[in-house]
Amino acid sequence: MSVEDTPHRGCFRSNALPGGVSLVVIATGMAYSILWAPLVHHNAVWSTPADFWATYRAAHFVGWGDLGGIYASNANFVTFPGILVVLAPVAMFTGSLGLTESFPLTVPHPSAWIVCGPVEMTLGSLALFGVDSLARRLGIASTRRAVLLALVAIGSWNTVVLWGHPEDAIAVGLACYGLVAVLDRRPVAAGWLFGAAIAFQPFVIVLVPIAVASIGWIDSIRLLWRVITPSAALLVTPLVSDLRATLRAVVEQPNFPNLDHRTPWTDFAPTLSGSGRFLVVAAGPARTVAVAGACVLAVVLRRRLADPAVVLWSAGVVLALRCLTESVMVSYYIFPACVFAGVILVKRGLKPALVGLALGAALVVFSDLELEEWLWWAGTVGGLLLLVLMAAPPLKSPRLHDDQIEVVGSRLSAAHG
């Protein structure tokens, strides 16, 4: 076997495109965070994401051996703890060096960012590798994959660099690998991958009914218990240590509608505390609507979910449904649905791929604008639904004419002798 034919070289070649795009995201992300405010706003501060520092603070508790205290730590951490386990060694490292962090008080130049900034952006690049793996599984050529990765990079940049949520991008990447396993009919691998994704961000739960309907009930038994195991293992200690704080974080999921974006459903969400700018409502109950919708869609389309395009489009639909029914919206919530709609458009050809890239990029930029709340919600959710609708595959099988049926029948007869 020559050097050129070694498996390691083949792996390097297959991952070269997402690896290169990841380096661009990391380089531009760090350049933005350090240089944007001084050069553009003439303000000598670093533009680091506030949400990340709260997560990073909670990661310290895991590093200190207090996994049970993460939701009672006043770090406003409201997702599953997978990202904290990954960041804990980094937090211990920067803490041992005495590097400063921008939590709970804002620090103009948090020195820990020099270490944890590239780390969180590298973790977020898993979305690029997962999407590229899914695209290669669908047989998409490298030129169109480059267009797809440009769209994913824009969404990932917004999610990780601006908002500081690498756990969302990690969950998207793992979900893509999980869907590859679903398409390959590997329920064990799919179960572990979806389980790992949910341990980072529970929105991946809405993809599980689609996976179950695609694989079939019998094989899905091996999938389902693996989906549950990682999150259950991580949550058992917080539940035992502080049941009330844990349930508030992972079930009620507090959010700030007047700091983020209100939706038509905000007034129906239970009020947890505060008022005015610091009003806190429960975002968790509304998210059960998307789970229920995913189950209904899986039942309706169960006979079509052998088609990869229908599987991916269904994933985009249920993730868009999540955005449509949220009681509080944030711009990076649209990222997962854009990813799966983008994969389908790229699969269809270069022209649909470029249209999807343009619309997706415009949607990401629009969602970060400070606009009147109903204009923002209508434009963001409406643009997302348009992107998902553009990606819709034909949901009816083509009917065969009598002469076609005769040809198919004769071929089957010949094949069976």
pLDDT for res 63? 96
DSSP class of residue 328? E
Contact (Cβ atoms closer than 8 angstroms) between residue 91 and residue 101: no
DSSP class of residue 327? S
Tell which residue, 324, 353, 351, 329, has the closest CA to residue 341: 353
pLDDT for res 11? 65
- The structural domains of the chain, with segments of one domain joined by +, span 3-390
pLDDT for res 4? 45
Tell which residue, 120, 126, 119, 115, has the closest CA to residue 19: 126
pLDDT for res 404? 38
User: Mean pLDDT per segment of 10 residues, for the chain of length 417 residues?
Assistant: 51 83 97 95 93 96 95 90 97 96 92 97 97 96 94 96 97 98 95 97 96 91 94 96 94 93 94 90 94 96 92 96 96 96 94 93 94 94 96 65 40 42
How many other C-beta atoms are found inside a 10 Å radius of the C-beta of residue 149? 27
Cα(107)–Cα(101) distance, rounded to whole angstroms? 7
Cα(274)–Cα(128) distance, rounded to whole angstroms? 39
Contact (Cβ atoms closer than 8 angstroms) between residue 193 and residue 160: no
pLDDT for res 268? 94
How many other C-beta atoms are found inside a 10 Å radius of the C-beta of residue 403? 8
> What tokens were used for 101?
């962090």
- CB contact set of 124 (below 8 Å; sequence gap of 6+): 25, 156, 159, 160, 166, 169, 170
pLDDT for res 398? 43
Give the max Cα distance, the chain.
Answer: 80
Cα(290)–Cα(298) distance, rounded to whole angstroms? 12
- CB contact set of 69 (below 8 Å; sequence gap of 6+): 61, 238, 241, 242
With 0-12 / 13-18 / 19 or more C-beta atoms within 10 angstroms meaning exposed / middle / buried, residue 218 is: exposed
How many other C-beta atoms are found inside a 10 Å radius of the C-beta of residue 369? 11
Torsion of CA 380, 346, 294, 196, to 10 degrees: -100
- CB contact set of 316 (below 8 Å; sequence gap of 6+): 337, 339, 340, 341, 344, 388, 391
pLDDT for res 3? 42
User: Which of helix, strand or coil describes residue 282?
Assistant: strand
Give the residues across from 404 on adjacent strands.
Answer: none
Contact (Cβ atoms closer than 8 angstroms) between residue 25 and residue 153: yes
Q: What is the pTM of this model?
A: 0.91
What backbone phi and psi angles, to 5 degrees, belong to 399? Answer: -80, 135
Tell which residue, 181, 206, 190, 156, has the closest CA to residue 317: 206
